[in-house]
Amino acid sequence: MSYSNYLLKSGEIGQARLEIKNISISYGKNIALENISFNVEEGQNIALIGPNGAGKSTLFKALVGLLPLDSGKILIHGLQVGHHTDCVAYVPQKEEIDWQFPITVFEVVMMGRYSKIKKFKNPQKKDKEAVYESLLQMGIRDLAFSKISELSGGQQQKVFIARAIAQEPHILLMDEPFTGVDMSTKETILAFLNNSKKSKITVIVATHDLNMAAKNFEDVLLLNKKMIAYGKPSDVFTQKNLSEAFGNQVMFLNDRAFIDECCPANRYEHKGVFGD
């Protein structure tokens, strides 16, 4: 029995909760995350904000058990990471994926069903139906048998979100899903995030778009190796907090924050953090 089915049968799924307790992670002598603590309730949508190198991807990889902790605990449904085979879905940054691998869209999305398919068994009708339903949600049903190498950046992003949906997760982690995609793809992703609340899926999305985070997420986690702030966007996006997170990369003009993470061409603006 999968972990999800166990929870459904036991009646505990309504108490879904992610608890991060004083976790620290380092790469050799370099500290990636230091003493991070926060809780996430069932169905909560959170934007994870921070500069490059803040530890956002590191946090995600720890949540799915890809990185060991130096200290602290991560609890999902009250159990430490490692006890869950299908509870958490992770959509990595597109740069981490080999898009030239000879595989179809359908095959990629079917990977989200592997934890639900018995060993040495072929996918069943319900697995194929779950794949097609996931593709429909992302608006790419007609691309099912296209090679992933043939897709646009936005279509590729939709494929990996569809794979996560097919997994039927309780918790969904998305690392920079809005980067390098068109407006139509952004709207599709945001529509899915809105619907995820109805399904009580807990979602954490790493993004650099402060304006989008403030408008579309109920809570924001501001991170730069340490947790700067966590709560409602209006409480988190203050001059003090943004300055602490982004340092000299943030400028303020007429109650607007300007973040420059690498060069003027990549500068973007957040309006409405301190008032419209």
> How confident is the prediction for the chain on average, in pLDDT?
83
User: 129 falls in which pLDDT band (50, 70, 90)?
Assistant: very high
Give the pLDDT score at 276: 37
pLDDT in tens, 109-126: 999 888 777 776 788 899
- Measured over the CA atoms of residue 119, residue 110, residue 95 and residue 92, the dihedral's sign is negative
Burial grade of 132 (CB within 10 A; 0-12, 13-18, 19 or more): middle
pLDDT for res 257: 63
Q: Alpha-carbon distance 120 to 49, whole Å?
A: 41
pLDDT digits (tens, 9 = 90+) for 142-169: 999 999 999 998 999 999 999 999 999 8
Strands, DSSP E only, in 6-154? 17-27, 30-41, 45-49, 71-76, 79-80, 88-91
pLDDT digits (tens, 9 = 90+) for 190-240: 999 888 888 888 999 999 888 889 999 999 999 999 999 999 999 999 889
- Half-sphere exposure of residue 143: CA atoms within 13 angstroms, side-chain side: 25
Domains and CATH numbers, the chain: 1-87+171-182+201-248 (3.40.50.300), 89-168 (no CATH)
Which tokens sit at 77?
Answer: 């449904």
The H or E element spanning position 222 is strand 219-224
Looking at the predicted structure, is the pLDDT value of residue 261 above 60? no
Residues sharing a CB contact under 8 Å with residue 225, sequence separation 6 or more, in sequence order: 31, 32, 33, 34, 54, 55
**Which one has a higher pLDDT value, 87 or 37?**
37
**Distance, CA of 201 to CA of 171 (rounded, Å):** 6
* CA-closest candidate to residue 25, choices 61, 75, 52: 61
pLDDT bin (cut points 50, 70, 90) of residue 95 is confident
Note the pLDDT of residue 195.
Answer: 85
CA-CA distance, 98 to 250, in Å (whole number)?
34
Q: Are strands 45-49 and 219-224 parallel, antiparallel or unpaired?
A: parallel
| pLDDT over 80 (residue 133) | yes
Pick the range with the lowest mean pLDDT from 10-19, 102-111, 240-249: 10-19
Q: Which amino acid is at 123?
A: P
Q: Which two tokens stand for residue 45?
A: 């949508």
Q: Work out the pLDDT band at 272, boundaries 50, 70, 90.
A: very low
DSSP state of 116: G
Token look-up 């779950």 returns 130
pTM of the predicted structure, to 2 decimals: 0.83
Q: Which of 181, 214, 228 lies closest to 36 in space, CA to CA?
A: 228
Contacts of 108 (CB under 8 A, 6+ apart): 148, 159, 160, 163
Closest CA to 36 of 52, 23, 50: 23
Chain segment 175-186, per-residue pLDDT in tens: 999 988 889 999
**pLDDT of amino acid 187:** 92
Question: What is d(CA 182, CA 198) in angstroms, rounded to the nearest whole number?
Answer: 26
The reported pLDDT for the residue numbered 252 is: 59
| Backbone φ and ψ of 29, nearest 5° | -90, -5
**pLDDT at site 259:** 66
Q: Is the pLDDT of residue 267 over 80?
A: no
Please answer whether residues 166 and 154 qualify as being in contact, where contact means their C-beta atoms are separated by less than 8 angstroms: no
pLDDT tens per residue across span 6-63: 344 444 444 457 999 999 999 999 999 999 999 998 889 999 999 989 999 999 999 9
Query: Which of 171, 147, 170 is closest to 159 using CA atoms?
Result: 147
Q: Mean of the pLDDT values across residues 131-135? A: 95
Identify the residue with better confidence: 100 or 201. Answer: 201
| Whole-number pLDDT of residue 100 | 80
